Amino acid sequence: MDGTTEPLLAVIGNPIAGNPSQFALERAIASLELDWRVLSFDVPPDDIAAALNGFAVTGICGVMIDPSVKEAASKWYAERIGSEKGAIDCLVRGEDGQFIGYDERHLWVQEQLASKSEGDRLCFGNCGEKSPWDARLLGVEKVSGNTKHETIEAAKAILVVDDLNGPPELELDEWPENDGSSVVIDLSTCHSLQDSICELGYQLLTESDLLIGVLKRAVEKWSAKQVDSTVIRDAVEEYLGV
């Protein structure tokens, strides 16, 4: 992304206030000693197509798309590439000058699941064919709250996502203690059992870890340089006052 002008990155969402992405991206870019600027835009879903069309013909080098407008952005991208499916949350300027879309949230989850190649991989919640977390595509087995002790024990990766009516029920009384070799990726909203999962010994990854992973992946795609995830994590925690 060499050029005579300062490269620009955009973060879009609705709302965008309170989103730590710009702050964290600025820290990550500074750590790489790159002279780039990051701008945030509050764009309603109905205006996403117009905004992205504008970005496509301007000097914007990359776009980070908040989940609040991901559906609208994905529809825009699918129409742009002539595909029925085109889920995206990150845009990267290709060598031909055109935007290339990536679904970094999905790719991050796939990466975490793939890191546990031994043992079973389970999914609690809505992971059907029409869900963003399609069990078939992720290579996980859909299970329910009353899953047997031995099924949990055999799992090395457990994905927890919202059911149609909110966080799925987890009967932790049936869960064995773990030595930290198994990971629980809890992306459900405000699940009350995260502390209990940690107390049982499982490695826990949450929506915060997902955000940090997505920002890291995006920066590395835009810059072709490796960035320390600690820089991003510290920035997110500072912004949120953690």
Is 205 within 8 Å of 185 (Cβ atoms)?
A: yes
Q: Which two tokens stand for residue 53?
A: 């069309």
pLDDT at 242: 62
Closest listed residue to residue 147, CA positions, set 128, 125, 170: 170
pLDDT at 17: 92
CA angle, corner 191, sides to 190 and 196, nearest 5?
135
Residues 101-128: what's their mean pLDDT? 93
pLDDT at 75: 95
Domains, the chain: 8-102+209-240 (3.40.50.10860), 107-201 (no CATH)
How does residue 118 score in pLDDT terms, banded at 50, 70 and 90?
Answer: confident
Enter the pTM of the model. Answer: 0.92
Is 213 within 8 Å of 232 (Cβ atoms)?
A: no
